[in-house]
Amino acid sequence: MRVPGENFNSILALIKPQFAGMKPAVFLDRDGTLIAEKNYLCRPEDVEVFPGTGAALKRLQDAGFMLFMVSNQSGVGRGYFTLADVDRVNEHLGRELACDGVRFEKIYIAPEAPDQPSRGRKPSPQFLFDARDEFGLNLAESFMVGDKLIDLECGWNAGVKKSILVRTGYGADVEQLETEKLRHAVIVDGLASAADWIIKNHS
């Protein structure tokens, strides 16, 4: 006997893969991962892009990954600078990387201080879920790269394939301090090695 909804469910099962989205992405922290960590960086002229960042991102893009930047900017919530300052820094960075043919699909910023309620502040996976829903991503085939434990936790909370710690920025210190928590992480010297690892290990 057919139950109500059975037909609908069998149709849904057929089209589900398209709905689930098959596109892989790489989510990238900004400070200490793409550019030098400068403690509450807020001026475009202070942006110091790590050598090879553009080339590494371009390789990921050419391998079929959509690129997203996910950044906590608590300096806004703390009153040190404004969201407009953050935008100016990101626009500058975007222009620098565009010289290498790199383009971020979207930039996600959490401007709140750690003690303020926030929808997306890492380690929350919310922005990765937002990106999945908006761009039809397959998070299980996606990657998160960052220099802090919260970056990796954000990836784990979203169910990405792998969270990767870079030793740039705070990464080297985190590697020393958080051995136990990093047992499921991949740890590499910097973004170029992260890109190598992802390209070699994605399916």
Residues found near Mg ion in the complex (CB under 5 A): 29, 31-32, 147
Residue number of the CB atom closest to Mg ion: 32
Whole-angstrom distance, CA of residue 58 vs CA of residue 39: 27
Q: How many CA atoms lie within 13 A of 22 on its CB side?
A: 5
Shortest separation between residue 30's beta carbon and Mg ion, angstroms: 7
Whole-angstrom distance, CA of residue 135 vs CA of residue 132: 5
Beta strands in the chain (DSSP E): 25-28, 66-72, 106-110, 143-146, 162-166, 186-188
Q: Which residue, 32 or 75, has its beta carbon nearer to Mg ion?
A: 32
Shortest separation between residue 88's beta carbon and Mg ion, angstroms: 19
Shortest separation between residue 129's beta carbon and Mg ion, angstroms: 21
- Catalytic residue flag (residue 31): yes
Distance of CA 191 to the CA centre of its chain: 12
Q: Which residue, 24 or 169, has its beta carbon nearer to Mg ion?
A: 169
- Catalytic residue flag (residue 147): no
Q: Which residue, 31 or 153, has its beta carbon nearer to Mg ion?
A: 31
Shortest separation between residue 33's beta carbon and Mg ion, angstroms: 5
Block residue for tokens 């997306």? 120
Q: Which residue, 46 or 133, has its beta carbon nearer to Mg ion?
A: 46
Query: Distances from the Cα of 143 to the Cαs of 13, 41, 53, 146, in angstroms?
Result: 26, 25, 16, 10
Catalytically annotated residues: 29, 31
